[in-house]
A and B are shown apart, each in its own frame.
Chain A
């Protein structure tokens, strides 16, 4: 079955450490996205990529970095510069980068806790 895989489901880190969240899709989608969700809130866009080797900052990119070396992979690194890294992180993809009518497919998220 095609889909988006995020791993791990739960991640624990000490403050000051960088951590990389994995996102893999086998849907052959061009566009991929990273969102962050805090308790009781909607999703906020961190980074998105419309094509391999290219990506753009979203609304809250500070303290995060991404890479898009392969079409199917879009890892997110939460750096020590991110002031409040504890959150639920969601990866998504869509078939057409700027297609207004193409839905996003989401993974089941990674819950990161930094202490």
Chain B
């Protein structure tokens, strides 16, 4: 399964946009890009996913590079409740998800 690379940590100010990057240079044509986030002592929460086109939902936007080798999760206005570990994952033919260490996002008031 293809791997992803994310920064270990990022900081943001409250009410400012946050761009969380993810590199996946070995992505295959059928791999979907999924994003999850996890609060301490809780299970991961689905955020968004996409294949080729940019995607928007009520939680976030996902921008996918034209060559699909990278993507960016965009939180349009960070709140304190958005502080979490964000995982970028490729979901391929096996159906299960392979989680890396993710990016720990801190939000300052």
Contact = CB atoms under 8 A, between A and B. Distances in A.
Contacts of A4: 43
Q: How large is the interface on A (under 10, 10 to 19, 20 to 34, 35 or more residues)?
A: 20 to 34
B87 to A, nearest CB: 7
Given A43-B44, A106-B45, A109-B43, A100 B98 contact: no
B80 interface: no
Interface residues of B, number: 26
Interface of A: 4, 6, 31, 33, 35, 40-45, 48, 50, 58, 88, 90, 92, 94, 96-101, 103-109, 111
A42 B32 contact: no
Interface of B: 30-32, 34, 36, 41-46, 49, 51, 87, 91-102
Nearest to A40: B101
Given A40-B101, A42-B87, A92-B43, A100 B30 contact: yes
A113 B91 CA distance: 31
Contacts of B102: 42
A100 B43 contact: no
A92 to B, nearest CB: 7
